[in-house]
Amino acid sequence: PAPRSARLLDDLNPSQRRAVEHAGSPLLVVAGAGSGKTRVLTRRIAHLLAERGVHPGEVMAITFTNKAAAEMKERVADLVGPRARSMWVSTFHSMCVRLMRREAKTLGMSSNFSIYDSDDTRRLITLVARDLDLDPKRYPARTLAIHISNLKNELVDAATAAERAGNDLERRVAEVYASYQRRLTESNSLDFDDLIMRTVELLQDHPDVAEHYHRRFRHVLVDEYQDTNHAQYTLVRELVGTGADGVPPGELCVVGDADQSIYAFRGATIRNIVEFERDYPQATTILLEQNYRSTQTILGAANAVISRNSGRRDKRLWSDLGDGEKIVGYVADNEHDEAQFVANEIDRLVDSGEANNGEIAVFYRTNNQSRVFEEIFIRLGLPYRVVGGVRFYERREVRDALAYLRALANPDDTVSLRRILNVPKRGIGDRAEACVATYAERERINFATALRHAVEGRVPLLNPRSRNAIAGFVELMDELGQAVERGDDVADVLEAVLERTAYRAELEASEDPQDHTRVENLNELVTVAREFTDLGTAVPVPDEDEGLPAEGSLAAFLERVSLVADADSVPDAESDGVVTLMTLHTAKGLEYPVVFCTGWEDGVFPHLRALGDPAELAEERRLAYVGITRAQRRLYLSRSLVRSAWGQPAANPASRFLDEIPADLVEWRRVEPRRSAPSAPTTWGRGSSSRPAPANTQWKDTPALKLDVGDRVNHDKYGLGRVVAVDGSGPRATATIDFGGSGTVRLMLIGGVPLVKL
């Protein structure tokens, strides 16, 4: 058999091999979609372990989803054996939780802290804003939350935010931020952004701690680097450290594609990739240009769309998989027709043996677009799974049950405690809750402590009935807490919660059919917990590892459910055999033999919000690039003439991105019915009716095309032609153009006409 090193390298191209073997200076691999970036990262780890004598404990790799992390671990284990499992491969957030649990004491926290998601965050901010007497109409919690999150992504703390505040809103935000942060600390809780920010703080303020990790993690690798925000960027820097000469003591390898940066709204900045070389002067950059995923036709479309973005490094992706099938275009009458088309095509592909269900994915811009597909797929009995949408862990009853568990794991957790204080109803009304909260605020103690003071009669204005009810609640929680301390299985603790609180019994007794669904969801949660425990005891604890909550423990369970993300539930093609439905954002990093990209309409995709904003439009275009490049063999692009949005049917013009795809790559199965028609071949996705202006400004902004008699032109729909006459001037100018076989057409020469002068 070939020596190991050959096996690890022989199915890589020379540039990929160079990236795998590179040693020493920081390494940046920038390359277009499907060029093997993720493969390089995986191989590099395997190579480190197999050939360079690196211990798995010295490797930290960061992926964008938990699922991708699990896959990467598996792949490396396949290549070099099971010891690979003790590497740290995780998302930024999981990695930070792990670090923070180990180092909580250094930051004056307790290691059983809760993790607040966006819903918890909003609840806490609502409480804070109420205490500060802010008008919720003027300062909605959601808005405040976004501002605070943005500040944290930029590593700006509350004090700095207050100093920098230049207007009323910013001052309010800073005020809420400070108070919110204090409440988080009192609750022994961290929100998602804190996980990153506090870890950075830990490493920056505690050189001895940082030093420990620098020595430990000799190799830090990051996938999807284009989607890191400033805080994550800094975290990476702090993790690898900088030596006296500016050279990091460990090796850093990041891979990414600036054209696939689609998380600007979460503070991701392409800057991190564009300026890597400046930040790490000794860096080596490797470009990959061969795409191994898609046909040349699919790549041609992707390249054409993304090349319209300005300020990017042009890279020509190529593939030797051949042209393959043409892209199929379809113009539907409405969204139901579009879904029907997709379903019929899937049927046809599966019947003909061209693909099986698991190889097919349907993408859309926003989650709400999945509903129509689901209706039709259910009717036709087509097996499918929707990734994301209203998630299991967002359902009210599931959140209630988890709030009990969280309050048991971390008794200081204010948001969880207040959520369940009177759920199910136990006679602790809003007024009583407010009394306790006010008292806590005044005494500068947390809510949990204030509850105990209430039982002792120290909270003023609390009537005896409420006081008794609170005593009952505190007693109940203490009792349940003993089960946790005894180390009972998570599922048993959960059962005890549902039992002792009568939460489930109450739902079971209800007449409302929705409540029966809730009971099912709770039972499902018990099953999840049961599986978790079984798995936890079955898996041997890897290595000497530290910082992880004990496998199968309540803390580990809560950690897992807190960090679960949409993308983690993407089904595996081989094992599940169902069609996968998801948003374009969720599709990042994945690949499917057959892809349906739906809803290509201006106002849907690109999103309405982006139409008047060049930066947002550029981001939507990157999203189009991501979507197109997921397809391996077959790509479908569809749009709908009419779509119901917010209950109102609206006519949508074709997505401008469709215009950007060379017409000869697309075969239109159905086009827009003609209204007024010269006898031109409709190779393009619409009839001859002129394109509705997406936004009025658009027409004014693009300069009119200047043409003279005799000029040669190319029109997206009619093809090559020669100008035979020009009439009028300025915005009224028209040209009569002879398109040969397509006839002679008179066109207005305003911006937005898909016509170029050759």
* x/- map, 220-259, ligand ATP, by CB under 6 A: -------------------------------------x--
Show the CA angle centred on residue 44, arms to residues 39 and 45, nearest 5°: 105
* Nearer to Mg ion among residue 38 and residue 562 (C-beta): 38
Stretch binding ligand ATP (CB under 6 A), from 9-17, 49-57, 65-73, 471-479: 9-17
- Annotated binding-site residue? 742: no
- In angstroms, rounded to a whole number, what is the distance separating the alpha carbons of residues 361 and 384? 9
Q: Among Mg ion, ligand ATP, none, what does residue 257 contact (CB within 5–8 Å per kind)?
A: ligand ATP
Give residues 573-592 in contact with Mg ion (rule: CB under 5 A): 589
Report the nearest approach of ligand ATP to the CB of residue 222 (Å): 12
384-386/219-222 β-pairing: unpaired
DSSP lists the bridge partners of residue 28 as 254, 285
* Nearer to Mg ion among residue 225 and residue 557 (C-beta): 225
* Nearer to ligand ATP among residue 33 and residue 579 (C-beta): 33
Alpha-carbon dihedral 599, 603, 606, 611, rounded to 10 degrees: 170
- SS3 annotation, 700-754: HHCCCCCCCCCCEEEECCCEEEEEEEEECCHHHCEEEEECHHHCEEEEECCCCCC
Stretch binding Mg ion (CB under 5 A), from 30-38, 128-136, 327-335, 391-399: 30-38
Q: Is 589 in the site for ligand ATP (CB under 6 A)?
A: yes
- In angstroms, rounded to a whole number, what is the distance separating the alpha carbons of residues 571 and 173? 40
606: helix, coil or strand?
coil
Determine the size of the site formed for Mg ion (CB under 5 A): 3
- Annotated binding-site residue? 537: no
- In angstroms, rounded to a whole number, what is the distance separating the alpha carbons of residues 739 and 745? 7
Q: Is 35 in the site for ligand ATP (CB under 6 A)?
A: yes
Report the nearest approach of Mg ion to the CB of residue 64 (Å): 9
* Nearer to Mg ion among residue 37 and residue 75 (C-beta): 37
Contact assessment for residue 686 and residue 654, using Cβ atoms and an 8 Å cutoff: yes
Stretch binding ligand ATP (CB under 6 A), from 6-14, 114-122, 641-649, 686-694: 6-14
- Annotated binding-site residue? 46: no
648-651/631-645 β-pairing: antiparallel
- SS3 annotation, 644-692: EECCEEEECCECHHHHCCCHHHEEEEECCCCCCCCCCCCCCCCCCCCCC
Q: Is 38 in the site for Mg ion (CB under 5 A)?
A: yes
- Annotated binding-site residue? 37: yes
Give residues 262-301 in contact with ligand ATP (rule: CB under 6 A): 292-293
- In angstroms, rounded to a whole number, what is the distance separating the alpha carbons of residues 256 and 446? 44
Contact assessment for residue 148 and residue 194, using Cβ atoms and an 8 Å cutoff: no
Stretch binding ligand ATP (CB under 6 A), from 11-19, 201-209, 433-441, 637-645: 11-19
Report the nearest approach of ligand ATP to the CB of residue 364 (Å): 19
- In angstroms, rounded to a whole number, what is the distance separating the alpha carbons of residues 3 and 56? 21
Contact assessment for residue 124 and residue 112, using Cβ atoms and an 8 Å cutoff: no
Q: Is 16 in the site for ligand ATP (CB under 6 A)?
A: yes
Q: Is 358 in the site for ligand ATP (CB under 6 A)?
A: no
* Nearer to ligand ATP among residue 412 and residue 591 (C-beta): 591
Q: Among Mg ion, ligand ATP, none, what does residue 11 contact (CB within 5–8 Å per kind)?
A: ligand ATP
Report the residue closest to ligand ATP, judged by CB: 36
- Tally Cβ neighbours within 10 Å of residue 109: 17
* Nearer to ligand ATP among residue 34 and residue 752 (C-beta): 34
- Annotated binding-site residue? 324: no
Peptide bond before 424: cis, by omega within 30 degrees of 0?
A: yes
Residues designated as active site? 37-38, 223-224, 260, 630
Name the site residues for ligand ATP (rule: CB under 6 A): 11-13, 16, 31, 33-39, 257, 260, 292-293, 589, 591
| Binding-site residue positions for ATP | 31-38
Residue numbers at the binding site for Mg ion (CB under 5 A): 37-38, 589
